[in-house]
Structure 1
């Protein structure tokens, strides 16, 4: 593992499941970043994670970590309801921010945060790690550089009823704590809202990453036998049309991907359960040579790649 001499010193807020499964390891493996500090009010979690991941310093108080002049950037990995509050504090302290998605839980708080980012001159990046999937990045380059005008885009994100079995087999054993800070009530009780924020944010971001700004939306929603489905018709800024399918959960394997039809070619992609850390399988057909083009052998640890980015 090659490390650059100049490394961004990162402090991670939150020692819960997503940090254990993704962020601690990503900072340790990133060639241009260092896991400098970890912070959580749960002392037992901080102690255990410090033994495993060996940050330089640990904190039980977020304000104290932000006051550390050695911390240059913060990864916010706490409950969704605390995202904006934590990000605003970090920006006020002069730290760059990598924010776990979703950015926030209301449009109003996100708009206020956006204004603070603009005034600060700092970087706030939402953790839509699929942008760092080499296959999706390859598709974007083809669309931008070779495909010509886009006609239409279809994208789907269908979580699987078998996902948790797969995830449990792939992730490390996750540790929780009774001391951890939790939001009031049960944020997951409203399934429609929870699925749109947690899963739909990935789908919409991938569509925008490939197709550009979405200008109009018409959605249909149905719930049956504990499953939730949204079919969404969209129009992009260039006048092309799109169809987005968010379904949680399908009675089959993880089903995620996209198709894009353009002037000089088309793209089809299949994306895997993220915990496989596997690049999307993408084929780009070009009329310029009447051939399919693929990308193979790329580093697909997109959680690490988003830290490096």
Structure 2
């Protein structure tokens, strides 16, 4: 365990469901500069079980009561996607800093509305695109920013596996459910096409933006066969870089995720693992100047804990944010909505012109 610093950010986690159990509770207890101060869920049996396991200082079944606690510094929103925007707005209006799970929301209009709230609130707001805290991706980003020169093109892929649950069930903690859990009005998995885009496409889009900057236009195709969904997306970046994204759920093979980036003074190739392995991406960086490659180790692969620590450093010490901002979260939702419009119209779609739900 990392030794705790003298000054800790007191964090309350809203939602005691799977992502909180698998990632956020442990991240707060292990973070060097944060404390799992409170947990909150409408399901009292789930709160009791999680409190016994993770030992927060406070427990709540009422969100407003948690937000009214003057000792609470920040909130991690770990609810269903449909509740993200409303929960974030209430936390900001209560004067709390916010780390909100991805995707930021499920429609362009609601996330644009939240951006206005963030701008007024004068609080730190970060979106939980935890792959930005993969040391391999960070090494690639550093090379791009300092040595690669102009970028030419980017390819990235996120291909979930038909065998993912055989993998995740072996490495995740036992995920506890409750009959009292609050669920969205509509079952998110009733429309698998939309669910896969929000759950997995948000990772792929943010990774592409992390490396190559703002996306301005997409042209997408979707193939649906034997229960699988495959999106191929041609991407235009504001910088003039061209890109290709492959989102496939699910491939009949092992987890297949990674990227290739071609630039003026070198290239980067990366292989990313199932996130629940907590294993840093294998990244090979090639320098044209001396015709050599190197591979950063990235021994610390706990992306969720590193995300909490970076967020806490911004809040406590005013350090520069390295995670995804509200603008990044909005751009991700816009890109996903544009991909869906492009599939429907079979035409290129500019992100600036898109509206409505993903």
Work out whether 1:191 is the aligned partner of 2:189. Answer: no
Contact map agreement 2:156 2:260 (CA 8 A) in 1: yes
User: Could you tell me how far apart the structure 2 residues matched to 1:173 and 1:289 are?
Assistant: 49
User: Could you tell me how far apart the structure 1 residues matched to 2:303 and 2:259 are?
Assistant: 18
Aligned position for 1:210 = 211
Q: Which has the higher helix share?
A: 2
Aligned position for 2:99 = 98
The secondary structure found in structure 1 opposite 2:218 is strand
Q: Equivalences for 1:43-192 in 2 at 5 Å?
A: 43-192=44-193
The secondary structure found in structure 2 opposite 1:200 is helix
Q: Equivalences for 1:156-305 in 2 at 5 Å?
A: 156-305=157-306
User: Could you tell me how far apart the structure 1 residues matched to 2:198 and 2:21 are?
Assistant: 21
Shift of 1:190: 0.7
Shift of 1:192: 1.1
Shift of 1:298: 2.8
User: Could you tell me how far apart the structure 2 residues matched to 1:132 and 1:70 are?
Assistant: 28
The secondary structure found in structure 2 opposite 1:306 is helix
Aligned position for 2:339 = none
Aligned position for 2:17 = 16
User: Could you tell me how far apart the structure 2 residues matched to 1:184 and 1:140 are?
Assistant: 40
User: Could you tell me how far apart the structure 2 residues matched to 1:161 and 1:79 are?
Assistant: 23
Q: 1:7 and 1:250, CA in 2 relative to 1: closer, same or farther beyond 3 A? A: same
The secondary structure found in structure 2 opposite 1:288 is coil
Shift of 1:224: 0.4
Deviations 1:201-237 (A, max 9, x none): 0000000001111111100111000000100001111
Moved more, 126-135 or 185-194: 185-194
Shift of 1:274: 0.1
Contact map agreement 2:135 2:298 (CA 8 A) in 1: no
Shift of 1:254: 0.2
User: Could you tell me how far apart the structure 1 residues matched to 2:247 and 2:295 are?
Assistant: 26
Deviations 1:85-110 (A, max 9, x none): 10000000000111111101111000
User: Could you tell me how far apart the structure 2 residues matched to 1:197 and 1:183 are?
Assistant: 15
Aligned position for 1:307 = 308
Aligned residues: 309
Contact map agreement 2:10 2:35 (CA 8 A) in 1: yes
User: Could you tell me how far apart the structure 2 residues matched to 1:170 and 1:220 are?
Assistant: 34
Shift of 1:185: 3.0
Shift of 1:297: 4.3
User: Could you tell me how far apart the structure 2 residues matched to 1:66 and 1:245 are?
Assistant: 40
User: Could you tell me how far apart the structure 1 residues matched to 2:160 and 2:36 are?
Assistant: 31
User: Could you tell me how far apart the structure 1 residues matched to 2:309 and 2:298 are?
Assistant: 19
User: Could you tell me how far apart the structure 2 residues matched to 1:65 and 1:267 are?
Assistant: 45
**Unaligned segments of structure 2, at least 5 residues:** 311-358
Aligned position for 1:37 = 38
The secondary structure found in structure 1 opposite 2:53 is helix
